[in-house]
Amino acid sequence: MKIFKKILFWCLVGFALIQFIPTDKVNKPVDRKVNFVDAKKTPPKIRRLIKDACYDCHSDETVYPGYAYIAPISWSVKSHINEGREHLNFSIWEMYNQDLKKSMLEKSAQTIQNKTMPMPGYMVYHKEANLSEAERMLLIKYFEEMLKTKTY
Ligand code: HEC
């Protein structure tokens, strides 16, 4: 029992200490001229869907949830955001070349279709990102239309 209490004590100390390791939660300023939903004049309904379901990880407008302030969860959240932005950052859309835009729209439609995006774990605490079939279809159609008309 004594040894168990000791282990528990040091675990708690460790947990308390890692709270002091900060993660960078400062968003870069967004330039509306290059931001996807502004530049493309995305209709309000679609804009809301993209912002609710994708922008936390794929833009510089991340809204950090409460759990993102508790280490070690905060590290996992931050690494998903970093990785998400690295692959696709809607905030700098107009800085992408045509090939990259095309490929990102194709992949976005694909990942929404096969339900790998938004990341399933994210939807547990973000019900608004848990898109219905109809909402998925709306987004896919929007991206596909843009591909067809080459208006990306
Ligand atoms: C919780 C964070 C999170 C959310 C929300 C999220 N993504 Fe992602 N996304 C990631 C991460 C992390 C990766 C990179 C690793 C991977 O492919 O799984 C990624 C990868 C991608 C890729 C692949 C890019 C490539 O280079 O292959 C696309 C496309 C994408 N996401 C689109 C979307 C769309 C569209 C939405 C909204 C419907 C969305 N994501 C929501 C985190 C997220």
Structure tokens at 129: 């990102």
The position carrying tokens 């990942």 is 111
pLDDT at 1: 77
For the stretch 76-93, pLDDT in tens is 999 999 999 999 999 999
How many CA atoms does the CB half-sphere of 100 hold within 13 Å?
11
Q: From atom 36 of ligand 1, which residue's Cα is the shortest distance away?
A: 54
Q: Max Cα separation, the chain?
A: 71
- Among 18, 24, 17, smallest CA distance to 79 is for 24
- Among 111, 99, 104, 135, smallest CA distance to 36 is for 104
CA of 118, closest atom in ligand 1: 41
Q: How far is 132 from 134, CA to CA, in rounded Å?
A: 5
Ligand 1 mutation target, pool 37, 46, 50, 58, most atoms within 8 A of CB: 58
CA of 110, closest atom in ligand 1: 29
Say how many Å lie between the CA of residue 119 and the centre of ligand 1.
Answer: 7
pLDDT at 60: 98
Residue ranges in the chain modelled with pLDDT below 70: none
For ligand 1, residues with CB inside 6 Å are 53-54, 56-58, 80, 83-84, 87-88, 104, 107-108, 111-112, 117-119, 122, 129
pLDDT at 54: 98
Structure tokens at 81: 């955001």
- Sign (positive/negative) of CA torsion 70, 72, 76, 78? positive
